[in-house]
Amino acid sequence: MESPAPGILLIADPFLKDPNFMRTVVFLCEHQDEGSFGFVLNKNYEYTLDELVSGLDDLKKIPVYLGGPVQMDTIHFLHQYPEKITGGYEIIDGVFWGGNFETAIDLIRAGEVDMTKIRFYIGYSGWGSGQLADELKEKSWLTVPANRPLVFHKKPSEIWKDALRHLGGEYEIMVNFPIDPQLN
């Protein structure tokens, strides 16, 4: 298992019961002694970007993902356009967090952005000092280095399964584990 760091995926254990993180994959963007944060990659939010941000009525329905339960009044984005959207932070090779939101919207309006290379999130997932380390000791999470195909997966609902497959070996069989083994 990989140690927590920017660019690591946290894959929820198949039996993790926390409703915020059941069968999720979190892309860690920051990890320090004071805490960690990232975005759940595979939970669609019920509203689209134009429904959450005023002045975007002219945009087609852009999906938003539930980044996590913290600060649900904030919008974040991951993208692959550092040369066009300035001010972002490179988390892994070719994957950037944030940058100039207005520029991103202008590029979308102009059709200069491939929508498979930008994702929007409401809220984020956060852990205080030592909290993530404790959850890792409890085996709530499996860890693996992130890659662009997983972060910008064509079918976000499949990220959890594909991340487990990415781990390989014994982890691949977890893909088929029931959510609650007592119900089998």
Note the pLDDT of residue 169: 77
Statement: the pTM of the whole predicted model exceeds 0.85: yes
Instruction: List all residues 6 or more positions away from 58 whose beta carbon is below 8 Å from its beta carbon.
Output: 109
Tokens of 78: 């991951």
Question: Which portions of the chain are predicted below pLDDT 70?
Answer: 1, 175-184
Nearest CA to 38 out of 101, 125, 122, 111 is that of: 125
Note the pLDDT of residue 16: 80
Start-end of H helices in 7-158: 49-52, 101-109, 131-137, 148-151
